[in-house]
Chains A and B, each alone.
Chain A
Amino acid sequence: MTSKRIEILVGAFVSLGIAAMVMLALQVADAGGAGNGETYILKAKFDNIGGLKVRSPVKVGGVVVGRVSSIELDPSDFSPVVSMEINQAYNQFPETSSLSILTAGLLGEQYLGLQPGFIDEDIEILAAGDMIEDTKSALVLEELIGQFLFSLKEDK
């Protein structure tokens, strides 16, 4: 009798633990959502990546479609090359698409904004490993201020 009661309570305890695990995985880490299924790699070359990091999101119109998987420096021209894992569900981006490094809010994290380009008959669709040519680098605050001061001087 007592052993049955103990078994029931232990069963409840273990189920509670597993339920907590499932809740953490689904509700907190959102493991079921984007970024966990099949992906393909796209690359892009920037002049300056600012505060972009591995695992920063790639967004199209605010929707996360992938994440930065690696950041390397091209040894031939010393410019950073960013590789992105893009969800296989979004594999119809034309090669005219542009990529820019944006900031979420004033102090927020930086992310990649993908702007899909126009589609035409002789425009190809980006495939795995392709390079996105049209990129806009991160805005670096010091440079912005420098340009601003310079323009002030010219006005006078």
Chain B
Amino acid sequence: MISFFQKVGANSLDNLGSVGRATFMLIGALVSKPTPIKSFPLLMKQIYMVGFLSLIIVVVSGLFIGMVLGLQGYTILVDFGAESSLGPLVALSLLRELGPVVTGLLFAGRAGSALTAEIGLMKATEQLSSLEMMAIDPLKRIIAPRFWAGVISMPLLATIFSAVGIIGGYLVGVKWLGVDDGSFWSIMQAAVDLEDIWNGLIKSIVFALVVTWIALYKGYDSIPTSEGISRATTETVVHSSLAILGFDFVLTAIMFGA
């Protein structure tokens, strides 16, 4: 019994320790006077790596999820003769939930794991140490641009996901299943507020912060062996996915719950 409590205690101390180390890492990376001339090309490159290269998977997934929503929604709504409400169904589920959440999960799998593996390998091959010895802070040179790239890219990706998804729903609902074109858009417009877009955007920014932070910390704190890096990569995907779903519930409760 006592050993159980000891285990719980040790685990919590351990977790608390990593939260602390992760916080220090982030503060060390972000608190500095900005050097736009040097950091801008670095940021560009990371937005390319993190954002642009995730574009294809996000567009394809968005299109298919929108089309499935259109199809599923239609078969349910048509029983009530309410198939003209397909527009708001597709748009609201994408903007409020699926856009930020699915993009967050894809982002964790595509970009988050890549970030962890990259930084873990940089650590294993002593690149981070060698930066230190060159009097260059790896937190500012390596971590900071990747962090900002993630925070900038992910909301853009989520927005693209939702837009493409709505187009997918439109293609299936209107072009294939024959929902009226005008009512699809007009009922959607009546039901969707700017607030929905805004809330979705806030969610995606929060998810971006969480996923990028976890990914960078897992890489930075990884044990620099092949086993350590592979475990860190897995942990990035698992922890960020769980964090996304948890934060999604909390944010949804705050935004739409009251």
Contacts and interface: CB of A to CB of B under 8 A. Distances in A.
B163 A23 contact: yes
A64 interface: yes
B44 A6 contact: yes
Contacts of B190: 30, 57, 64
Given A29-B192, A30-B189, A24 B197 contact: yes
A31 interface: yes
A29 B196 contact: yes
B160 A20 contact: yes
B37 interface: no
Interface in A1-40: 3, 6-7, 9-10, 12-14, 16-21, 23-25, 27-31, 33, 36
State the majority secondary structure of interface residues on B: helix
A107 B82 contact: yes
Contacts of A146: none
Nearest to B156: A17
A107 B52 contact: no
Nearest to A19: B163
Contacts of B238: none
B188 A13 contact: no
B91 interface: yes
29 contacts: A6-B44, A6-B48, A9-B52, A13-B47, A13-B48, A14-B156, A16-B55, A16-B160, A17-B156, A17-B159, A17-B160, A20-B156, A20-B160, A21-B163, A24-B95, A24-B163, A25-B197, A27-B189, A28-B91, A28-B166, A28-B189, A28-B197, A29-B192, A29-B194, A30-B189, A33-B189, A57-B190, A105-B81, A105-B82
Given A7-B44, A10-B47, 20 more contacts: A3-B41, A3-B44, A6-B44, A9-B48, A10-B52, A12-B52, A13-B48, A13-B51, A13-B156, A14-B47, A16-B160, A17-B156, A17-B157, A20-B160, A20-B163, A24-B162, A28-B166, A28-B192, A30-B189, A64-B190
